[in-house]
Amino acid sequence: MSDIILLKQGEIVLKGLNKRSFEMKLISNVKRRLKPFGDFKVYALQSTVYVEPQNDDCDMDGAFEAVQTVFGIASVSRAACCEKDKDAIFETAKEYLRDAMMCARSFKVESKRSDKRFPMTSIQLSQYVGGLLAEEFPDVKVDVHNPELTIHLEVRDYAAYVHGPNIEGAGGMPVGANGRVVSLLSGGIDSPVSTYLAAKRGVQIIPVHFFSFPYTSEQAKEKVLELAGILTKYCGRLMVEIVPFTHIQEEIRDKCPEEYFTVIMRRFMMRISQRIADLNGCSAMVTGENLGQVASQTLEAMYVTEVCARLPIIRPLICHDKKEIVEIARKIGTFETSILPYEDCCTVFTPKHPRTKPRLDDVIEAEKPLDIDALVEEAVANIERVAIQ
């Protein structure tokens, strides 16, 4: 009996003319994600993506787990494939779902028939197969309203499929379908979550990290790369841009009033991210900022920071509570790494009394002693790129 994986497409099905290009993106993302698990044929028909193993060496369990984190998929299921014949469908259901039937107290059969030439209606097929299964497993009651186990039968163009419950997919839209963004990735809890949420809406991510060696350690950088590694599960391959930030921070420390350190530093992050965005054809920048969380995340401070950027800044977490952010971080598996106690460049030279409501004119005045263009050029010229598979 051949076992395949069925992926129900999510929001893509709502797309009109663009649907095919979204679908192609999804298929290529699924193929890339399945590479470590063997040779699979992946194709789309009727809003479903089919994942067919090409030989017995394929790791179906691994593949099934991997597709659950691919964006653009509403639900996933493993299914057995059989001939489009009512008895073949019953035999397949009986064998393929034997374990599930033995554990359930009640069941029902639900059928879908996209091949309208099939000689039975969906209801007739459900009744036929349901009846035989009830005889085969007399301890399991039929319950059409509240069954413990729902058995799905699908009669499609090329074959019939039998599967148990659908598992929720990762949702969202296929990565790459909505363009490209830079995402400012620190080692904290928030920015891995904001990066994940942006990727979920179908954007390809270029992570940017500002690194202040030796004020922040090699381990702090490793931590960010580890977080990027966790995110590849959702975002696909990543090329992390590590920006040397030490000289800029020292210049700010030496030449600017202390109360403006953080906001001036963040303005540099924006200018450099903007440059990286331009170099990579990105149309927006993503941060993990959250209204009111720290002194640099007041509305006034965010305004003074964002005027340095030309592109829109997306802040997926702006209105989330910390508790909600932590929940997502746990769900996506970044939380435990994020809480490792390595410092971030934002905690280097932190002012004792930062301006929580900075005025733009004052900040511009405060950064006058700096050669801004030269500092930005120097940082951009010395970016280190690390590929994460």
302 binds ligand ATP (CB under 6 A): no
| Residue 31 CB neighbours (<10 A) | 13
Closer of 127 and 293 to ligand ATP (Cβ): 293
3-state class of 135 per DSSP? helix
How far is Cα 266 from Cα 106, in angstroms, rounded to an integer?
59
249 binds ligand ATP (CB under 6 A): no
Among residues 63, 149, 160, 185, the one that binds ligand ATP under rule CB under 6 A? 185
Closer of 51 and 363 to ligand ATP (Cβ): 363
Among residues 22, 40, 128, 210, the one that binds ligand ATP under rule CB under 6 A? 210
Here the tokens at position 250 are 């020292």
Among residues 92, 111, 186, 305, the one that binds ligand ATP under rule CB under 6 A? 186
Interface residues for ligand ATP in 337-356 (CB under 6 A)?
344-346
Among residues 241, 251, 289, 306, the one that binds ligand ATP under rule CB under 6 A? 289
CB of 338 to Mg ion, least distance (A): 9
CB of 347 to Mg ion, least distance (A): 8
188 binds ligand ATP (CB under 6 A): yes
Residue 178 contacts by C-beta under 8 Å, 6 or more apart in sequence?
201, 202, 203
Candidate ranges 15-23, 182-190, 230-238, 275-283; the one touching ligand ATP (CB under 6 A): 182-190
Instruction: Judge if the upstream peptide bond of residue 165 is cis by omega within 30 degrees of 0.
Output: no
Closest of 47, 67, 68, 80 to residue 153, by C-alpha: 80
Here the tokens at position 248 are 């800029």
How far is Cα 162 from Cα 230, in angstroms, rounded to an integer?
33
* Residue 139 · residue 107 · CB < 8 Å: no
Beta-sheet pairing, 106-113 with 40-45 = unpaired
Residue ranges in contact with Mg ion by CB under 5 A: 186, 188, 344
What angle, rounded to 10 degrees, do the helices at 246-255 and 372-381 form? 160
Here the tokens at position 57 are 């060496």
Among residues 29, 178, 296, 334, the one that binds ligand ATP under rule CB under 6 A? 296
How many residues touch ligand ATP (CB under 6 A)? Answer: 20
CB of 161 to Mg ion, least distance (A): 47
Residue of closest CB approach to Mg ion: 188
Instruction: Give residue for tokens 């280097």.
Output: 348
How far is Cα 335 from Cα 341, in angstroms, rounded to an integer?
12
Among residues 72, 288, 316, 354, the one that binds ligand ATP under rule CB under 6 A? 288
77 binds ligand ATP (CB under 6 A): no
174 binds ligand ATP (CB under 6 A): no
305 binds ligand ATP (CB under 6 A): no
Instruction: Give residue for tokens 């934002």.
Output: 346
Among residues 12, 184, 206, 263, the one that binds ligand ATP under rule CB under 6 A? 184
CB of 22 to Mg ion, least distance (A): 34
* Residue 261 · residue 351 · CB < 8 Å: yes
Using CB under 6 A as the criterion, which residues of the chain lie in contact with ligand ATP when the complex forms? Answer: 184-186, 188-191, 208-210, 287-289, 293-294, 296-297, 344-346
